[in-house]
Amino acid sequence: MKKKKLAIVGFVAIALLAPFIAQTFGGNYWVRILDFALLYIMLALGLNIVVGFAGLLDLGYIAFYAVGAYLMALLSSPQLTTQFAELAQLFPSGIHLGFWWVLLIAGPVAALFGVILGAPTLKLRGDYLAIVTLGFGEIIRIFLNNLDRPVNITNGPKGINAIDPVVFFGIDLSKAQELFGITLSPSLMYYYLIMALVIGVVFISFRLQHSRIGRAWVAIREDETAAKAMGINTRNVKLLAFAMGATFGGISGVVFGAFQAFVSPESFVLWESIYVLAIVVLGGMGHIPGVILGGILLVGFQEFLRELAEPVQKMLFGQVYIDAEVLRQLLFGLALVVIMLYRPSGIWPAPKREDRPVTRTGARTRSGTNPLEGGAR
């Protein structure tokens, strides 16, 4: 127990210092990498509820990310007021709801999308569910890409820019700040904001996992018929999974929109859904620490490869045979195949610990009560 506590403390310490380390050794580029890693982890934790806990294979999860991002873009940028004169009149200084209000709205809106997209899939078997959710993800992307005609809502492939940054107690996170003589770059400040949200998501995920609803999700995943026979309303419980997952996706999207100050349909392609799914599956499906590890590994490895692929090839072969980007994708595909073949429950699956002593942590610490006493109610 002590070793585990020490490990967690160490991990948290590294996580808190990481951006400073990255900045010192790599510069702002690497701090931004950390920011995106955290965003992906947040997404993966949300998808983990749908795929990991409830076993619902969602291949269109990135749609909820898009919902959040475009909500931020539409409610906190010049887009709507420049396109629609009536709105410009109503809001002479523009629609700038700001990050915090959009964050509050995005949760329920994304959850609603989750229910809408989940509802038709409730009776579908695994593979079909995957294809349909993929279809939904693509439909949303196509709409985002084309809703610039006849009225320009999303600005199509050009995307929406000039999105307001996060303002935290009067501090604009998109401008560098000075604190005790240290320069805090925007990327650095955003790191701590995203980290705080990630911690919140992790906390909620843990609570959900060890709850009546969490058990119901796993029951559905393991055997839906038996779950129904045990009185679980599988339709509602599945919709809850979609809604929760979508909520986390939407929140991540809002942060993404504010952080990057620009959104376009390009960020929400199928490949992104697959990438997030890979983090969950390769990291350890249903196991929160595993998913976090998966996110760190996948993003880290990707960057690592980007940095080294070409120099190493030049060193070994004298020239670059394979583009870094192509190599990354190739290895990604290989990883998916190899890990499914040899370690299908992921790199860090939930530990079993079957021989731990049977101690009661409930109200009573002694056995001996007849559970059938009192008759059927």
Look up residue 358 and give its DSSP letter.
-
Contact between 144 and another protein by CB under 8 A: the answer reads: no
Is 305 a binding residue for another protein by CB under 8 A? The answer is no
Sequence-ordered list of residues with C-beta below 8 angstroms from that of 174, at least 6 positions apart, any chain: 165, 166, 186, 261
Determine if 320 is a binding residue for another protein (CB under 8 A).
no
Residue 341 near another protein by CB under 8 A: yes
CA 367, 373, 374: angle at the middle one, nearest 5?
A: 140
Task: Round to whole Å and give the CA distance between 268 and 266.
Answer: 5
Per-residue three-class SS string for 70-110: HHHHHHECCHHHHHCHHHHHHCCCCCECCHHHHHHHHHHHH
The number of residues making up the chain comes to 377
Q: Which residues pair with 31 in a beta bridge?
A: none
Q: Is 104 in the site for another protein (CB under 8 A)?
A: no
Strands (E) located in the chain: 160-161, 167-168, 171-172, 177-179, 182-184, 262-263
Q: Other CB atoms closer than 10 Å to residue 5's CB: what's the count? A: 9
Among the residue ranges 34-42, 77-85, 125-133, 290-298, the one whose residues contact another protein (CB under 8 A): 125-133
Kind of pairing, strands 171-172 and 177-179? unpaired
> Where in 3-42 is the site for another protein (CB under 8 A)?
none
Shortest Cβ distance from residue 24 to another protein (Å)?
35
Query: Taking CB under 8 A as the rule, does residue 306 contact another protein?
Result: no
Shortest approach of another protein to residue 99 CB, angstroms?
Answer: 22
Q: Is 319 in the site for another protein (CB under 8 A)?
A: no
> What does the alpha-carbon distance between residue 204 and residue 251 come to, in Å, rounded to a whole number?
13
CB 200 to another protein: min, Å:
10
Q: Determine, following the binding rule CB under 8 A, whether residue 123 of this chain makes contact with another protein.
A: yes
Smallest gap from Cβ 366 to another protein, in A, equals 10
Cβ-based nearer residue to another protein, 57 or 188: 57
How far apart, in whole angstroms, are the C-alpha atoms of residue 67 and residue 62?
9
Site for another protein in 248-287 (CB under 8 A): 274, 277-278, 281, 285
Which position among 12, 21, 158, 222 is part of the footprint of another protein (CB under 8 A)? 222
Of 2, 5, 181, 373, which lies in the binding site for another protein, with binding defined by CB under 8 A? 373
Query: Quick one: 57 or 258, whose CB is closer to another protein?
Result: 57
Q: Does 332 participate in binding another protein (rule CB under 8 A)?
A: yes
Applying CB under 8 A, among 228, 301, 305, 306 the residue interacting with another protein is 228
Burial of 252 (0-12, 13-18, 19+ CB in 10 A): buried
Map the footprint of another protein across residues 39-58, applying CB under 8 A.
Answer: 51, 55, 57
Task: Please identify, among the stretches 72-80, 165-173, 307-315, 357-365, the one whose residues bind another protein according to the rule CB under 8 A.
Answer: 357-365
